[in-house]
Structure 1
Amino acid sequence: MAVIGYARVSTTGQSLDAQLKALADCDKVFQEKESGAKDDRPQLQLMLEFVREGDHVRVTKLDRLARNTRHLLEIAEFLQAKGVSLQILNLGINTKTPTGKLMLTMVGAIATFERELMLERQAEGIALARLRGKYKGRKPTAMLKKKEVVPLLEQGIPKPEIARRVGISLSSVQRIAKSNKE
């Protein structure tokens, strides 16, 4: 039996230190800097493959593991099928018990509901700010680099390499390439 930790922050500017300190007694800790909105996080997938029957997966907070109820329940069911329990430290939840399983489902649903309410309030705030002329959105920074991207495309340089050189996302390079063809 091993205790396996999982720590995650959303951006490279954030620190994993507090989570790693709370997971210091774990036998192994998987850590990453990836958005929680992504289901296909590399270290999460490695952790899920790594755990064995009798192990315990430990996270400091529910939102470090999953951002919505569906994904949370998928992870919990996967772990349960492998005979692995899930511990959420800040909530005192442990899926080894029937009560822990119930609490995980309820808290996951409430967390999803709260996130959806927050996104709704944010959208309402942005709409009001737009009406007042105070919100214009962020500047289209990638399209400003079109003059750098187009010559590289014409040279036949692969799009991922262009994205790396220019410092924009691959999808931005693809949008620029599409708009240049039109």
Structure 2
Amino acid sequence: MTTKIGYARVSTMDQDTDVQVQALRDAGCETIRTEKASGTTTNGRPELASILEFIREGDALVVTRIDRLARSIGDLQVIVKTLREKGAALVCTEQPVDTGTAAGKAFLDMLGVFAEFETNLRRERQMEGIEKAKARGVYKGRKRSIDREEVRRLHREGMGPTEIAQRMGVGRASVYRVIRGE
């Protein structure tokens, strides 16, 4: 008997997985794992890693769309290879993906290419927007999260960078940058 394991992912904390979870339930998933993490990498996605580690022969990993699983063709191919090696399948509820056929594999690869292309376009648009904002003097970057004067004062009083970082709850590298005057 095939066990259907659902995987739902959104990119940001203010998004929710409710629609995906319902679609996965409707597809017959007994287990559904969710996470809020970027799809541009498989790093930092413990739920996906857990599924790939424990999925068994005959099981199916079910997602609503390929871009919920991966937004890079390289990551997608690694995931599919892992599933294939374990004798598991990949199923999409909204796209006709069947990793057992040549046509299905080609379609899967095309979806992966388009997901990666979309990510790259979004990144380019974001960088263009930042450059335009900088040119208008509107974009200043992230606000500083460290009190530079306090770092300098503590350092003058003889406190070391590690102790300053611990006391202020900031990274040691940030303290070093302030001390060096960067």
Aligned counterpart in structure 2 of residue 37 of structure 1, from 35, 40, 43: 40
Q: Is the 8 A contact 1:7 1:29 kept in 2?
A: yes
Q: Is the 8 A contact 1:5 1:23 kept in 2?
A: yes
Alpha-carbon shift at residue 52 of structure 1 (Å): 0.8
Specify every segment of 5 or more residues in structure 1 that has no aligned partner in the other structure, as ranges: 167-171
Q: Deviations over 1:55-111 (max 9, x none)?
A: 111011222111211101110111111111111222222213221111001111122
Q: Is the 8 A contact 1:146 1:176 kept in 2?
A: no
Counterpart in the other structure of 1:143: 146
* 1:109 counterpart = 2:113: yes
- Closer/same/farther in 2, CA of residues 146 and 88 from structure 1, 3 Å limit: farther
Distance 1:137 1:143 in 2: 14
Alpha-carbon shift at residue 42 of structure 1 (Å): 0.8
Distance 1:110 1:66 in 2: 11
Return the index of the structure with the highest Cα Rg. 2
Query: What is the aligned-residue RMSD (CA, Å)?
Result: 2.7
Q: What is the number of equivalent residue pairs in this alignment?
A: 169
Specify every segment of 5 or more residues in structure 2 that has no aligned partner in the other structure, as ranges: none
Hey, which bits of structure 1, 4+ residues long, moved more than 3 A?
144-148, 150-153
DSSP-derived class of the 1:71 partner = helix
- Closer/same/farther in 2, CA of residues 54 and 115 from structure 1, 3 Å limit: same
1:73-152 matches, within 5 Å, as 73-140=77-144, 142-144=145-147, 147=150
Provide the TM-score with structure 1 as the length reference. 0.79
Distance 1:156 1:125 in 2: 34
